[in-house]
């Protein structure tokens, strides 16, 4: 065999992964059916609630949030963005996208914050989790879409699962970082007053780490929104579906309007979450 050719050796890691997926499907199908039922009903509930809310009420809410967490000009700009999305005849798709993002972010935070706390308190657990988080962030999203659609029917639910996998790492990493970076003097002061470990976490470490955690929440939310188009490839509805349709039909007008609507949502979410983080940081400085 020429020295330039790779030896005829194959390590079938992919085969083992496939067998593991088959094992899960055969033995835990009931669990995936239950997850699908809960997730799909939650999506429908949120989407129905949003669509039942008058458009002008949502626009006023967005304006008030922008005004409170940024300034009045930001509030007016965000309200204009919402109006423009409606003028593109993409209101229903936008509400569907918002419903998917809300569920994905809430579940990501419910999983990510406790995991980040555990990593902050356990070096061993942190060492184990870091390569897993690296894989979640760097693995092409289309790769883990394959097992997801193996467990769930095409639609919004597999898109949510894939979004959670993609959006989890930032909130986990920044929760761990925020807790680890709490000043030792603050912790020693709390210990001197007889604080228990739980009291230390709830009353000292989490409040001190909150600005850093908010940065993680912001990144998780933005990454969840960025999955809108990818999720449409497994049957998710919303703005991503319109972008995918526009690509297939080479419809420049629809593609631009759906794409710019996603940009508008991203700007609104980014500015509001950053505004929340800034206010938390200001309150922390005043209390200090």
The yes or no reply on domain 14-52+88-287 and CATH 1.10.3720.10 is yes
For residues 268-275, average pLDDT: 87
Q: Would you state the pLDDT for residue 192?
A: 74
The string of pLDDT tens digits covering residues 106-144 is 999 999 999 999 999 889 999 999 999 988 888 877 777
Instruction: Say which residue, 97 or 151, is predicted with more confidence.
Output: 97
Instruction: Say which residue, 73 or 281, is predicted with more confidence.
Output: 73
Average pLDDT, the chain: 85
The string of pLDDT tens digits covering residues 197-237 is 777 887 778 888 888 888 888 888 888 888 877 888 777 88
Q: Residue 287 pLDDT > 70, yes or no?
A: no
In contact, 21 and 32? CB cutoff 8 Å: no
Q: Would you state the pLDDT for residue 161?
A: 87
The string of pLDDT tens digits covering residues 59-73 is 999 999 999 988 899
Q: Would you state the pLDDT for residue 59?
A: 93
Nearest alpha carbon to residue 22 among 184, 146, 191: 146
Q: Residue 76 pLDDT > 90, yes or no?
A: yes
Domain ranges of the chain: 14-52+88-287
DSSP state of 70: T
Q: Would you state the pLDDT for residue 273?
A: 85
Query: Which stretch of DSSP H or E encloses residue 271?
Result: helix 252-287
What b/e readout covers 96-117, taking b as 16+ CB neighbours within 10 angstroms? bbbbbbbbbbebbbeebbebbb
Q: In whole angstroms, give the CA distance from residue 73 to residue 47.
A: 29
3-state secondary structure of 182: coil
Q: In whole angstroms, give the CA distance from residue 246 to residue 195.
A: 58
Task: Identify the residue whose tokens are 């095409």.
Answer: 154
Split at pLDDT 50, 70, 90, the class of 2 is low
Q: How far is CA 268 from CA 49, 90, 159, 225, 283, in A?
A: 20, 17, 22, 12, 23
The string of pLDDT tens digits covering residues 171-190 is 999 999 988 888 777 777 77
Split at pLDDT 50, 70, 90, the class of 88 is very high
Report the predicted TM-score, pTM, of the whole model to 2 decimal places: 0.86
Q: In whole angstroms, give the CA distance from residue 39 to residue 91.
A: 22
Q: Would you state the pLDDT for residue 288?
A: 56
Report the percentage of the chain scoring pLDDT > 70.
96
Split at pLDDT 50, 70, 90, the class of 95 is very high
């Amino acid at each position: 065999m020429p020295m330039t050719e790779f030896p005829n050796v194959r390590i079938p890691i992919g085969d083992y992964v496939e067998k593991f997926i088959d094992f899960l499907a055969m033995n835990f199908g009931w669990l995936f059916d239950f997850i699908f039922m809960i997730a799909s009903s939650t999506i429908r509930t949120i989407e129905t609630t949003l669509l039942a809310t008058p458009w002008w009420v949502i626009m006023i809410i967005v304006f008030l949030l922008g005004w409170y967490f940024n300034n009045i000009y930001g509030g007016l700009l965000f309200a204009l963005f919402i109006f423009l999305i409606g003028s593109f005849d993409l209101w229903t798709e936008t509400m569907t996208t918002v419903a998917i993002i809300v569920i994905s972010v809430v579940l990501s935070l419910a999983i990510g914050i406790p995991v980040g706390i555990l990593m902050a308190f356990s070096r061993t657990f942190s060492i184990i989790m870091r390569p897993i988080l690296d894989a979640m962030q760097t693995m092409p999203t289309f790769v883990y879409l394959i097992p997801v659609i193996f467990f769930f029917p095409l639609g919004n639910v597999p898109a949510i699962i894939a979004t959670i996998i993609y959006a989890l790492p930032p909130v986990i990493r920044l929760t761990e970082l925020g807790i680890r970076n709490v000043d030792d003097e603050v912790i020693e002061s709390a210990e001197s007053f007889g604080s228990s470990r739980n009291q230390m976490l709830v009353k000292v470490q989490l409040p001190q780490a909150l600005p850093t955690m908010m940065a993680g929440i912001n990144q998780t939310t933005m990454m969840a929104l960025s999955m809108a188009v990818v999720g449409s490839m497994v049957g998710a509805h919303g703005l991503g579906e319109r972008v995918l349709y526009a690509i297939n039909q080479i419809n420049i007008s629809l593609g631009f309007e759906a794409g710019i609507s996603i940009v508008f949502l991203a700007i609104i979410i980014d500015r509001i979450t950053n505004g929340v983080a800034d206010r938390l940081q200001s309150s922390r400085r005043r209390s200090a």
